[in-house]
């Protein structure tokens, strides 16, 4: 029994060491690729690429909030784009790794959109709740002040003594002032919360617009690279045509000399 426990412990420790070693290598490779390949993760052909995807899923799983998760999905989608571009450059468009990478890219984009929609819905709900809170505070204040006015009217009903009337009015004026001050404080807090929510929504919208612009710029850069490649191919073809033309001229000149 003790021998079995020792063997089990040894195997468990060995497995942990292998996992730690693989994780360290994958992390180092990811960092190097990020520095050299414009944000790409571990290459599609690397045996450690599955670890890259695994850690991405862990980050998303532990992320808090739909907006944060959406940004992570966009980040990972950009990694997939960079990885596909590098894979095509190194192994060609027929590489078997590209199909799975494109599926992961589509999944990242779809989940990013889903998280964004959920974040928008949550933001709208927060704004709605904050607006309802402001309206509720105003209603409660109006009702409280109206009750004090009604109570004052009841106290003054049938009262003929000027001094007594002045005393009652002074007392209720103080009561109204205190109630108004409390209402103003509560209303200011509710409106401050509403402003905070609106500012958060505006900041998130600005971040989303910035992310969209970055995506468009990345797409434009990719198109420019393709255009440059196309121009280089055209220039290469022109040079080949010129070379062939020169060879043809030389051949014709040689034939004319032999004829003479």
Instruction: Tell me the pLDDT tens digit for each residue of 36-79.
Output: 455 666 888 888 888 888 999 999 999 988 888 999 999 999 99
- Note the pLDDT of residue 179: 92
Q: Which two tokens stand for residue 13?
A: 């420790």
Task: Report the half-sphere exposure of 98 (CA within 13 A, side-chain side).
Answer: 13
Instruction: Tell me the pLDDT tens digit for each residue of 113-154.
Output: 999 898 889 888 989 999 999 999 999 999 999 999 999 898
DSSP state of 42: S
* 79 within 8 A of 41, measured Cβ to Cβ: yes
* 151 within 8 A of 171, measured Cβ to Cβ: no
Alpha-carbon distance of 119 to 108, in angstroms, equals: 16
* 108 within 8 A of 69, measured Cβ to Cβ: no
Q: Which tops the pLDDT comparison, 197 or 229?
A: 197
Q: Residue 69: which of 82, 56, 79, 80 has the closest Cα?
A: 56
If DSSP states are collapsed to H, E and C, what string results for 193-251? HHHHHHHHHHHHHHHHHHHHHHHHHHHHHHHHHHHHHHHHHHHHHHHHHHHHHHHHHHH
* 176 within 8 A of 155, measured Cβ to Cβ: no
- Residue 178 in 3-state DSSP? helix
Alpha-carbon distance of 169 to 174, in angstroms, equals: 9
Q: Which tops the pLDDT comparison, 68 or 33?
A: 68
Mean pLDDT of 167-180: 91
Instruction: Tell me the pLDDT tens digit for each residue of 199-251.
Output: 888 887 777 666 666 665 655 555 555 455 445 444 545 555 555 555 545 45
182: pLDDT confidence band, cut at 50, 70 and 90? very high
Contacts of 172 (CB under 8 A, 6+ apart): 148, 151, 152, 155
Instruction: Give the length of the chain.
Output: 260
Mean pLDDT of 93-109: 89
Alpha-carbon distance of 55 to 77, in angstroms, equals: 14
Alpha-carbon distance of 39 to 257, in angstroms, equals: 62
- Note the pLDDT of residue 35: 45
Angle at 155 between CA 151 and CA 159, to 5 degrees: 155
- Note the pLDDT of residue 192: 93
Alpha-carbon distance of 163 to 245, in angstroms, equals: 120
Share of the chain above pLDDT 70, in %: 64
Q: Residue 82: which of 225, 231, 233 has the closest Cα?
A: 225
């Amino acid at each position: 029994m003790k021998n079995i426990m020792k063997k089990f412990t040894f195997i468990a420790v060995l497995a942990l060491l292998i996992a730690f070693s693989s994780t360290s290598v994958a992390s180092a490779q990811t960092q190097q690729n990020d520095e050299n390949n414009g944000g790409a993760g571990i290459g599609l052909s690397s045996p450690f690429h599955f670890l890259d995807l695994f850690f991405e899923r862990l980050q998303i799983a532990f992320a808090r909030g739909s907006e944060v998760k959406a940004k992570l999905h966009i980040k990972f989608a950009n990694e997939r784009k960079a990885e596909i571009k590098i894979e095509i450059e190194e192994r060609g468009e027929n590489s078997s790794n590209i199909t799975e990478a494109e599926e992961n890219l589509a999944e990242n984009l779809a989940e990013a959109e889903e998280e964004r929609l959920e974040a928008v819905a949550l933001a709208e709900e927060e704004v709605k709740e904050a607006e309802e809170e402001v309206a509720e505070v105003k209603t409660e204040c109006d009702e409280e002040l109206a009750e004090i006015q009604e109570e004052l009217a009841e106290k003054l009903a049938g009262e003929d003594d000027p001094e007594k009337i002045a005393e009652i009015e002074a007392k209720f004026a103080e009561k109204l002032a205190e109630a108004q001050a409390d209402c103003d404080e509560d209303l200011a807090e509710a409106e401050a919360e509403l402003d905070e929510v609106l500012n958060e929504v505006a900041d998130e919208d600005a971040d989303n617009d910035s992310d969209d612009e970055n995506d468009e710029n990345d797409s434009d850069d990719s198109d420019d690279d393709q255009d440059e490649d196309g121009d280089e191919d055209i220039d290469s073809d022109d040079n080949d045509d010129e070379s062939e033309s020169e060879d043809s001229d030389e051949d014709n000149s040689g034939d004319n000399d032999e004829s003479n």
